[in-house]
Structure 1
Amino acid sequence: MGAEADQVLTFWWTFELFSPQRIVERSDADDDEGVGLRVIDWDTSQLLPWDSLGTAGQGRMWEHTVYLDVYERSQIYGFLHEAFPSGGEIYDVRPQGQGAFAAFLVDDAGRVVANTAVLSSAMWGLGRVKNPGPLTPGWLDGFQECHDGFRAAVMSEIAEHRRAAGESLRPLDSGDIGRLIELARQSTGVSDESLVTGTIRIKSVQIKQRDEDDDPPRTDFLNSFYLHELTDVRGAVARGAHGAALAAYLTADGQIDEDSRCDVQEPQWVEPIVRRLGIDRIPSGRWPSNPQHPLALSQQFAVNEVMATLGSGSGLMGINGPPGTGKTTMLRDIIAANVVARAQRLAELDKPDDAFVGAGQGLVPRLRDEFTGFEMVVASSNNNAVENISNELPALTALDDRWRGHPGYFRATACDVLLESAPTRTDSRAWALIAARLGKKKNRDRFATGIWYGTKRRTPGAGPRQSRPLRIVTKEPAPCSWRDAVDAFTRAQARVQDVVSARLPAQQRRDQLIDTRTQLDELPNQITQMQNELSRREQKLRAFRPRLDKASECHQQWMAHQGAYAAAEPGFWENIKSFGKKGAAWTQAGHGINDSVAAAKKCFEEHKDHWDWLAGQLQEASQNLSELQQQRVTLQDRVNRLEDHVHNDEATVPGYPTAATFDNEIERQCRAPWLDTDLDTARSELFLAALDLHQAFTFHSPALKAALGRIVDVVQSKPLRGLSVQDIPAAWQLLFLMVPVASSTFASMRAMFGDLPPEFLGWLFIDEAGQATPQEAVGAIWRARRVVAVGDPYQLKPVVTMPDRAEDAIARSFAVSDTWVPSQSSVQSLADRVGTWGTYVQDRTDSGKKTWIGAPLRVHRRCDDPMFSICNEIAYAGFMIKANHRPPALSAPPSSWIDAPNPVAGKHLQLYEIRELTTQLDKLIDEHRMAPKDIFVIAPFKTVADRISHIIDHTDHYRGIRAGTVHSVQGQEAKIVIFVLGGDPRKPGAKDWASQTPNLVNVAVSRAQHRLYVIGDQTRWAGMPHFQELSTALNNHQSNDTPPG
């Protein structure tokens, strides 16, 4: 990677430097009710919380977070505008909330907790804006040194003052806080009155008592989560310590090879796609879902391409997943393929411990290289997204009914882990210990409890159950021997191979027929060209004949002259009589004649050689023409024979990609070729056998069982206790051997994997990649060998708190294009841009703009019309294909727009809309007998969503209805969605915001499976982009649909 990559990383680092976290808001409520939480703005007239709060509850302690010089976050960006002039007028939305110059923790006894002081990066950056200023080279160098110096100075200041007073154990007092405020101001170099507020905010919360083995308290409560991560990656890139995935992610604009892109919607790429879906390219393993429902073509294509292009190497691939197109289904098959691939290597072992270097010696045995590279992490900026996947994979509901009787993969332990990770789930039945919800420390501790220590939790409404952690389970007799598990896996693999081998000849015949037809189709043109060439060569030969004849005639004439000359040679006496003059004259004349004869001969020979060459060329062309004509006969015969075979194959081979199917795009897209119940059943059972083999590995590996407790310690980031730095990666690799998939947010990746080298993780699956700003994923991508970004740029965009003007100004100062600007791009867009397979989506509001998206999933199975058609029109330029053609009968009225004019100015919440909402809810529940759990109410504005949630929470009749803002519901769905618009009639800017892209409407509408009701001022909203199409579609649908009586 070159200078542009460093420039981009530095820009992102600067962006995060000036992106402080929003600190906790002040609460007027005291802790009188014993809830264990209080947040105050403290001044010197009050007692400090550690002097005034009562004793914490049993086994608990107070922890106080002190924020120094609390300021409004919006204030800092005015200073940035001065330092970085923007390129023009940009609509600016200032961020809400507050930040602070510095913060630190205070313990139960009122003493500063060591190494918890944090200096605000944003304030330090503003200080550097003032001095030395942005024009000075390296003007933003040195934050970490200043931060560390501030942290040390805090402890030094407190200790020095107490030593002078002889009170080393005295709690922090107001004088100490005053000195720390001054220290923070000096460290940042900021003295502006609008920022130096003097406000001290203290958050006091009761936590569990800590002991020596506990992690130090978290200190990521002030600055960006990604600042240190980007610092690490910048340094690594400078040293060349990075992999192919990050290099692809940071590909410079000028290096994007657009000519190599293959548009999957273009007809010329249909056959290449079918070839890539060949039965010999389908992964052997498959997730055990219903085998009667194979993947759609685009899903299987994505799976095949991921495994073929990344599986044996490294890199980055973007997959575009519009709503309802089966992103999770696709990811599950990739996970299954990887588990089977590792099992194939494990099956070659005589005994499990042969998988380790040195037969597993040491506190943490180290896997040989061939058994690593299968580590899989699902990451996202969206906490709900990663939770959903890691909780869904092990759930029994993820398994088709026919396999729910399978013993499972550490099934009992998986139930414990699921109970700990998702304690509010109403169904905690699990089938496999296949995924772990990790990331932040709390999640890792819960996982450790479930997998190792044992859970005390119970499923809501269920009776008592015996906890079954691995520390108990692995001491019990193994379900089967190692050899039996290997043999069972080998038999399952043979069954898959038998099915593949039986169908492979049919695929080969199909490919041969298409290739032969292609050759045959090309022959008429080739024959015509050769006939033309033959005529051209005949003409050239004929045209050359006069020249040859003339050269021959000239040669003959000179030969005749030479003969006459020879006959005219003077006799002996004649020459004597002339005293030699006649002989001399004759000889002299002979020189010229001989030269002319030689020249004529040479000329003739050259013409003869050229004639022979032309004749040869003619003969060659004639022969080529004959061969082409014969080839046409041969190819036609071959086509006839292959057509007979293929006709039979189409009728007898399951999953055969018939010509009739592939000529119909809808039929072609709805089902991948070659897949049928038999093959997918065998592939699913191979995956289950692969898990059984992994389970047998754990039971029959003394080295692994001896290390289990230390592995759990590493996951919890506990003190090493004799472990070396090299043992940390080994422990994580063993965890992924037992638990194939882990999940985390991007923000927690460094805390969890901070000690691991680049490309340590085999696989990184980025979920909801369209919601993540590009810099958030940098550390995760740097740690992975293979990266698959799955998302959709036409759903929710990344949340960027920095105002547009400030962002634009900083981007201009670093001379980076919009490609890298967080508000203009996403992880998904950066992954898509380097992909070979994808399609262009036309921007509906800008005819000259097209967006390249990677390998789109095209078959939609969630929404009925009109919801599907609305989304397909406004966001996807019609490339999605609807597969659910039989909507279930609902007694609810047809989808419609319920007009509710907004007469009240000054707020987005419109009570008339709320009254209309309750009326519609009552009708749906009482008259149409709809279950509350099947209803979802969403709104674009938080004030509206909050009021709706309040009504639902306080109305027994509505219990079970879900509600939230559009930004909180991505990934969810319901039979009925009610979209309550709200909107202040005096603030058109809010409607502009909601309608500037199709994203918000697309997300809202695509939550609805069967019915969509929009409540809002139709006159005002229907004039806005995308809402206009929504209004028209609902009006047309309502007029064409008769409501049930």
Structure 2
Amino acid sequence: MDAKENILDAWIAIEKLSEGNINLREGSNFKYKKLPRFHENWTDFFRGKLSDMYMNGVKPSKHSNPGFVLYFDIFNFKDLINKLTKKFEINDKYHDDNNAKKYTYCVAFKLDGDQFKLVENSLFYTMSGYAHRKGNLPANITEAQEQLSKCLAETFQYDFDKGMSKLIGQKTQDSGENYYEITDDVTNLDPFLHSFYVEDLEFAKGSYSENLTNYLFGSSTEKINLDSNKSSDSFNSQEIYKILEPKNYPLGRFPANPEWGLSLMQQIAVNIAINDSSNVRGVNGPPGTGKTTLLKDIFAEHTVRQAFIIADLPKKHLSLTETYFAKGKIAKLDTEISNNNILVASSNNGAVQNIVTDLPNIGQVDKQFLQDVLEDDYFTHLSDEDSDNQTWGLFAAEGGKKDNVQKILTKIKKMSEDFLNDFEQNENAYNDFIKQYHLVESKRQAAQKLSDLYKEFLKVRTELEERTQTYNQRLIIEEDKCRKKIDEQKITLSNLRKLIEENKTNLSGLENHSSMNTHKISLEKDTIDAIKHQRPAAYWLLKLIQHPTAKAYKHKSLKAYTKLYQLLDQQQKIENACEQKMKRLKELQLEYKRLIDNVESIRKKFVSWKRREENTLRDLSQRVSNMQKDITQSGVEPLDLTMNYDELQQTNPWFTKEYRVEQSKLFMAALAVKKQFLYENQKSLKASYLIWSHMGDYAIAPKKHLISIAWDWINFAIPVIGTTFASFARMFKFMEENTIGNIYIDEAGQATPQSAVGAMIRGRRVMAVGDPAQIRPVVTLSNGVIGLIAHRYHAAENIINGYSSVQTLVDQASKFGYQKTEEEWVGIPLWVHRRSLNPMFSISNELSYQKQMVLPGNMLKPGKGRWVNIGGESNDKFVMQQGKWLKEKISHRKSDNIFVISPFKNVVNQLKKSLGKVGFDKSNIGTVHTFQGKETDIVYLVLGASDKEKGAALWAVSEPNLINVAATRAKREFYIIGDKHLYEELGSEVVDITLSVFCDYSDACEEQKVDK
């Protein structure tokens, strides 16, 4: 067996184990009667009971099949849970006991002439009954039922009375608790005897659905964390900006007050819902964060998209291609149109009713649109028929159970009849719509251009900031570098100047020396010339004879020449030295000039760089200024992700009231297109009514597809249809995979995961809206027993457990969401809370939402709240002193809108008795499940319990869910009544946080210590 089948089988076992409920006190006269252990004539007994029923006012139905149903071996379900817990040594925590009664099996008999006969296939052997008898879960309950059915058939084969006596007397009856029910139609056994989901779970085993696969095992696509807190490490500004580009906004809008746009995360959820390609997604909305509000805008956009596709069709009258009887034909609605059909589903019937009654309520339409929407008249007279309030049109209707489906079909029939009786066509509907469509689209395109400009503005501004910062930093560095280089050059220049001066001085000395030496040479030459004139006559002769005169002349002459030569040699050296000095001086002077030029070059280079950078910054600054001016003049608020967190969450960028007005007008124009299109295809509309009115005739293979084709027309005509999951399988029994355009699941956090399997298979796109941090799904089995089932079927325990919900599974399949904690991924989060004042808001925010929720500025004035400390002895969690205190309080404020809530069923029952005596409405007293999705001004949470019931007390406050839900039912005041000492001693962080918040918003911290 594969993982999918294991999970489905485990869910089937859970559902079957939950079957067989019987309320022995149901009805004013109790419809279930104790079956006698003996009667002489059972035929007379039951015929007499049938006569009594008709004499008491029950009228035989059109298809009357009178008879009775026997319910054998009634037992307390908690006894079975305790038995299984003990046998399998399950270590279960405390849970508020399920006091339901179960029957082991039931069987029906109908009156046939004068005798009663066993109704074929009427035996229902409950799994819980089998387990209660055998002390174990059956390997195959179907096989056990077949064996019992065979025995019963043999017992009643010949004689009813003997069979009854034998059956009653059989030792196999473990209990004398046997009951009977008299009924006018025994062939229509109470559908509540069976699970609502088993049939679809079995269907899923043989089906392939990508949506179901993703639902069970999560999506393999990369998760996108929509963290919108700029102080967070995972702040995802890029993805948030991308999603909130104007081109991703819807063109349609529900015609509510246009003064107010959606909050940031609401708009993100809408934009993803209408544009994301993935087919399963979750929206995680804490209490009061506008989940229903965003659904309205999504529904409006679906309507607009359908109208646009229709208006673009070359032929509005679709070809009748599908034969549904003889000459009767129906057109197949274009898939792109049916892809925008809307079904709302929930496990909470109140949630379904709230949506389908709220949407068409005239009070939901802003007064500026009211006249137009009423003039357009989208079958308003049909919508008003079943409504306690005036409506603006047949935009939504409740389906699900048989009577509701019949009402829908009646409305479809009446629509068809309207088209035949003086219907006023609106042939301009298509052109009017297209004209309005282009107007809204042009505004969206203009906003996109502005967004592109703003994106460029942010880019340029960032570049300006970065370049300015870089410039300022580099300017200091470059100035310092330039200064250092010039300083270094200056030192070198100074040294060069010294060398030049030294060389000049040396050269000047050499030149002086050379001049002096030249003069000496001249004098010496004159001396030689004078000596030459003194040459004796006949010198050569005198020299030859070595005359003294010749010798003296020669000596004098030689001396003079020697000195001259010395002076000439010296002069040559001086001139050589001068030449070297001159060369060196020129070199130094050239080097000096080069350094002077280099210093100037360094200065020029720096100045040029500085001028270039400043020009760039000036240009960028001018661009920023021009773009900012254009953005400001547009009058549109752009998406500024640098805003503080609270402001950012409340912002709705890009579009103004004017755009929202035109969006609403487009939605109304789309309804006019729908109406005209239905008129032009009235034969198909009529066919849809006929097919669904005789659905059984079309449940065979060759015709089965006609049921889905007909549904597309029905859901197109009534844009939003709601159903509970309990009625889903019955309503869509004959529809295959991927046959419903969009399924929106409301209050998904409170729905058991198996309840949505049929929706996952049939829905093309599914969005779950809810909050797992509120009350978890109601399960009749303990967590330990569920764990036992998961183990038996080898099913994943992260799915088969007592706390998973439709919301938790859808969240895991969602591409977009929020990493709430390291371990917990949730769907698209909504953060702006618009219901409860403080301290209720802060209790909820701190307990369950990591302080991410935001309270609008107009709700900052605190309400009232405190812990009323009352202890005392308890009896099954009920503390009489707490009841007395509450009775006294409520007796003085009966006109106020008050809910009284308790975690424990017995406390609720006792409070109903007590408060009923002062005229308090008992319907306003209940467990938290009673008030899920509701709100009022004042809430009293009665915790109950005493020291002897610490396990029960800890169960109530071990998780934040219960106090979170109770606190957020209250708009203005919230009081917890309980033994403060007991609950403080439990070590519960939930209690600690709650008390701390109460003290932050109350002057009564000391008073909370004792309240008598």
The TM-score by the shorter chain falls in which range? 0.7 to 0.9
Counterpart for residue 440 of structure 1:
401
**Partners of 1:148 and 1:285 in 2: CA distance:** 56
2:281 corresponds to 1:317: yes
Counterpart for residue 946 of structure 1:
909
Q: Deviations over 1:138-175 (max 9, x none)?
A: x54xx557657866876x5477325xxxxxxxxx5462
Q: Is the CA contact 2:820–2:826 (under 8 Å) kept in the aligned structure 1?
A: yes
Q: Is the CA contact 1:775–1:822 (under 8 Å) kept in the aligned structure 2?
A: no
Q: Deviations over 1:685-743 (max 9, x none)?
A: 1111111111112223242344254155157x688799932221111111011012221
2:638 corresponds to 1:657: yes
Where 2:779 maps in the other structure, the secondary structure is coil
Q: Is the CA contact 1:520–1:632 (under 8 Å) kept in the aligned structure 2?
A: no
2:463 corresponds to 1:496: no
Q: Among 757, 778, 788, which residue is 1:809 paired with? A: 788
2:971 corresponds to 1:1009: yes
Q: Among 349, 353, 372, which residue is 2:317 paired with? A: 353
Distance 1:701 1:861, change over 3 A: same
Counterpart for residue 295 of structure 1:
262
**Partners of 2:87 and 2:1006 in 1: CA distance:** 62
Counterpart for residue 533 of structure 2:
none
**Partners of 1:89 and 1:30 in 2: CA distance:** 38
Counterpart for residue 74 of structure 1:
78
Q: Is the CA contact 1:818–1:824 (under 8 Å) kept in the aligned structure 2?
A: no
Counterpart for residue 336 of structure 1:
300
Where 2:893 maps in the other structure, the secondary structure is helix
Counterpart for residue 956 of structure 2:
994
| Greater displacement, 804-813 / 226-235 | 804-813
**Partners of 2:853 and 2:3 in 1: CA distance:** 36
Distance 1:880 1:260, change over 3 A: closer
Distance 1:663 1:709, change over 3 A: closer
**Partners of 1:1028 and 1:696 in 2: CA distance:** 61
**Structure whose CA Rg is larger:** 2
Where 1:895 maps in the other structure, the secondary structure is strand
Distance 1:374 1:816, change over 3 A: same
Q: What amino acid is the match of 2:907?
A: V
Shift of 1:749: 1.4
Counterpart for residue 518 of structure 2:
none
Q: Is the CA contact 2:226–2:236 (under 8 Å) kept in the aligned structure 1?
A: yes
Counterpart for residue 100 of structure 2:
97
Shift of 1:123: 4.6
Where 2:283 maps in the other structure, the secondary structure is strand
Q: Among 41, 47, 51, which residue is 2:48 paired with? A: 51
Counterpart for residue 431 of structure 1:
392
Please, which runs of 5 or more residues in structure 2 have no aligned partner? 473-608, 1008-1012
**Partners of 1:973 and 1:263 in 2: CA distance:** 29
**Partners of 2:817 and 2:33 in 1: CA distance:** 51
**Partners of 1:689 and 1:991 in 2: CA distance:** 57
Shift of 1:859: 0.5
Counterpart for residue 614 of structure 1:
none
2:705 corresponds to 1:726: yes
**Equivalent pairs: percent with the same residue?**
26
**Partners of 2:271 and 2:613 in 1: CA distance:** 36
Shift of 1:93: 6.4
Where 2:769 maps in the other structure, the secondary structure is strand
Q: Among 844, 849, 872, which residue is 1:871 paired with? A: 844
Where 1:507 maps in the other structure, the secondary structure is helix
Distance 1:316 1:430, change over 3 A: same
2:201 corresponds to 1:230: yes
Shift of 1:410: 8.7
**Partners of 1:355 and 1:177 in 2: CA distance:** 65
Q: Deviations over 1:572-622 (max 9, x none)?
A: xxxxxxxxxxxxxxxxxxxxxxxxxxxxxxxxxxxxxxxxxxxxxxxxxxx
TM-score of the superposed pair, with normalisation by structure 2: 0.76
Shift of 1:747: 2.2
Q: Among 331, 334, 337, which residue is 1:371 paired with? A: 337
Where 2:317 maps in the other structure, the secondary structure is helix
Q: Is the CA contact 1:1005–1:1012 (under 8 Å) kept in the aligned structure 2?
A: yes
**Partners of 2:290 and 2:651 in 1: CA distance:** 13
**Partners of 2:614 and 2:305 in 1: CA distance:** 46
Counterpart for residue 13 of structure 2:
14
**Partners of 1:888 and 1:396 in 2: CA distance:** 31
Q: Deviations over 1:756-793 (max 9, x none)?
A: 11111111111111111222211211111111111111
Q: What amino acid is the match of 1:882?
A: L
2:854 corresponds to 1:851: no
Q: Is the CA contact 1:509–1:642 (under 8 Å) kept in the aligned structure 2?
A: no
Q: Among 229, 237, 246, which residue is 1:270 paired with? A: 237
Counterpart for residue 675 of structure 1:
655
**Partners of 2:750 and 2:175 in 1: CA distance:** 35
Shift of 1:492: 1.7
Distance 1:121 1:58, change over 3 A: closer
Where 1:394 maps in the other structure, the secondary structure is coil
Counterpart for residue 700 of structure 1:
680
Q: Is the CA contact 2:870–2:881 (under 8 Å) kept in the aligned structure 1?
A: yes
Counterpart for residue 422 of structure 2:
477
**Partners of 2:223 and 2:318 in 1: CA distance:** 48
**Partners of 1:656 and 1:27 in 2: CA distance:** 59
Q: What amino acid is the match of 1:894?
A: K
Distance 1:305 1:526, change over 3 A: farther
**Partners of 1:635 and 1:50 in 2: CA distance:** 102
Shift of 1:416: 4.8
| Greater displacement, 276-285 / 491-500 | 491-500
Shift of 1:262: 4.8
Q: Is the CA contact 2:53–2:182 (under 8 Å) kept in the aligned structure 1?
A: no
Distance 1:721 1:269, change over 3 A: closer
RMSD: 4.0
Shift of 1:913: 2.2
Distance 1:93 1:975, change over 3 A: closer
2:23 corresponds to 1:24: yes
Q: What amino acid is the match of 1:909?
A: F
**Partners of 1:29 and 1:490 in 2: CA distance:** 59
Shift of 1:990: 1.7
Counterpart for residue 710 of structure 1:
690
Q: Among 508, 511, 525, which residue is 2:455 paired with? A: 511
Please, which runs of 5 or more residues in structure 1 have no aligned partner? 32-36, 163-171, 186-190, 211-215, 453-468, 529-627, 843-848, 926-930
**Partners of 1:635 and 1:742 in 2: CA distance:** 61
Give the 5 Å matches for 1:889-1038.
894-901=864-871, 903-924=872-893, 931-932=895-896, 934-950=897-913, 955-956=918-919, 958=920, 962-1024=924-986, 1025=988, 1026-1038=990-1002
Shift of 1:75: 4.3
2:746 corresponds to 1:767: yes
**Partners of 1:298 and 1:998 in 2: CA distance:** 24
Where 1:405 maps in the other structure, the secondary structure is helix
| Greater displacement, 276-285 / 380-389 | 380-389
Q: What amino acid is the match of 1:480?
A: Q
Shift of 1:120: 1.8
- Name the count of aligned residue pairs: 854
Where 2:428 maps in the other structure, the secondary structure is helix
Q: Is the CA contact 2:265–2:831 (under 8 Å) kept in the aligned structure 1?
A: yes
Q: Is the CA contact 2:323–2:330 (under 8 Å) kept in the aligned structure 1?
A: no
**Partners of 1:414 and 1:866 in 2: CA distance:** 43
2:157 corresponds to 1:160: yes
| Greater displacement, 640-649 / 720-729 | 720-729
Distance 1:299 1:153, change over 3 A: farther
Counterpart for residue 384 of structure 1:
350
Q: What amino acid is the match of 1:486?
A: Y
| Greater displacement, 493-502 / 67-76 | 67-76
Distance 1:234 1:409, change over 3 A: farther
Q: Is the CA contact 1:894–1:1041 (under 8 Å) kept in the aligned structure 2?
A: no
Shift of 1:368: 3.1
Shift of 1:317: 0.6
| Greater displacement, 404-413 / 10-19 | 404-413
